[in-house]
C-alpha cells in the first residue's frame, strides 16, 4: 500500500475529522423531530460540564494506561465502541476486546504514557458529548536504542452516558504521523 504524502495525510485527517463532526452535528439536528426518542434528546445535567466530563474520562484513561491496566482503559469505552486510527495506518476496531488489544500492542511497543489535552467539549442534542483535542505519546521504541520520544497526535471522541450514570467513550478517532506499534511499522514497509 503506498504511503500518503505528508500534505495528503493531513488533508485526509482533516476531511475525515470534518466528516465525524458533520455526522455528529447532523445527528444532533435530527433530535426532537418525529421519530426521534424524547429520552435521547436529554442534555448533560448542568453540574456535568462537558469539558469536565471529557477531561475526567481522558485523565482516567491515561492513569489506567500509565499503570499498564489495559482492561481498565478498555472499561472506559462502551461495549460497542468504535475506535478509528487514521494515521499512520487506517484501521477500525470494534468493541472493548479489540480496543484493549490495541493498547496492549502500544505497551509492547514501548509506549510508556499517553498524555491527552482536551481542547473542546460540547454537548450534542442527543445527550452525547463531542470532544476534540491533542495528545502526546511518550515512547521508547523497542526497534532501536534511541532516547524516549514524544509523538504528537490529534483525537476526537463521542462520549455517551450509560444507564449507571458513568460516561464512556462510544467513538474514538485519532491520527498521529509516526508509527509506534509493529503493525504500524509493518504497514509502512509495504511501499
What single DSSP character describes residue 178?
Answer: S
How far is residue 171 from each of residues 7, 70, 142, 183, measured CA to CA in Å? 26, 17, 29, 22
Residue-wise pLDDT tens digits, 6-49:
444 444 444 444 444 444 444 444 334 444 333 333 455 545 89
C-alpha cell at 31: 433530535
77 touches 168 (CB < 8 A): yes
- When computed from its CA atoms, the radius of gyration of the chain, rounded to whole angstroms, is 17
All cell numbers assigned to 152: 504528537
Per-residue model confidence as pLDDT tens for the chain (191 residues): 344 444 444 444 444 444 444 444 444 443 344 443 333 334 555 458 999 999 999 999 999 999 999 999 999 999 999 999 999 989 999 999 999 999 999 999 999 999 999 999 999 999 999 999 999 999 876 555 566 788 999 999 999 999 999 999 999 999 998 888 888 888 766 44
Q: DSSP letters of 51-82?
A: HHHHHHHHHHHHHHHHTT-HHHHHHTEEEEEE
Which regions of 72-182 does DSSP assign to beta strands (E)?
77-87, 91-94, 111-123, 129-139, 149-161, 167-175
C-alpha–C-alpha distance, residues 81 and 5, integer Å:
30
Contact 89, 36 (CB under 8 A): no
pTM of the model: 0.74
Could you give all domains of the chain from N- to C-terminal order, each with its CATH number? 6-188 (3.10.450.50)
Residue 61 to residue 56: CA distance in whole angstroms: 9
Amino acid at each position: 500500500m503506498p504511503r500518503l504524502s505528508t500534505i495528503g495525510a493531513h488533508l485526509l485527517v482533516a476531511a475525515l475529522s470534518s466528516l465525524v463532526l458533520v455526522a455528529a452535528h447532523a445527528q444532533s439536528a435530527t433530535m426532537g423531530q418525529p421519530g426521534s426518542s424524547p429520552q435521547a434528546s436529554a442534555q448533560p445535567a448542568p453540574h456535568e460540564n462537558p469539558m469536565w466530563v471529557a477531561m475526567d474520562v481522558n485523565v482516567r484513561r491515561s492513569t489506567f494506561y500509565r499503570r499498564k491496566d489495559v482492561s481498565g482503559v478498555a472499561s472506559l469505552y462502551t461495549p460497542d465502541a468504535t475506535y478509528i486510527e487514521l494515521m499512520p495506518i487506517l484501521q477500525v476496531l470494534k468493541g472493548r476486546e479489540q480496543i484493549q488489544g490495541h493498547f496492549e500492542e502500544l505497551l509492547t511497543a514501548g509506549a510508556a504514557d499517553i498524555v491527552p489535552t482536551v481542547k473542546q467539549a460540547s454537548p450534542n442534542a442527543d445527550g452525547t458529548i463531542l470532544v476534540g483535542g491533542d495528545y502526546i505519546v511518550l515512547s521508547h521504541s523497542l526497534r532501536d536504542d534511541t532516547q524516549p520520544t514524544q509523538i504528537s497526535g490529534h483525537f476526537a471522541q463521542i462520549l455517551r452516558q450509560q444507564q449507571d450514570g458513568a460516561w464512556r467513550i462510544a467513538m474514538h478517532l485519532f491520527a498521529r504521523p509516526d508509527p509506534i506499534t509493529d503493525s504500524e511499522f509493518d504497514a509502512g514497509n509495504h511501499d
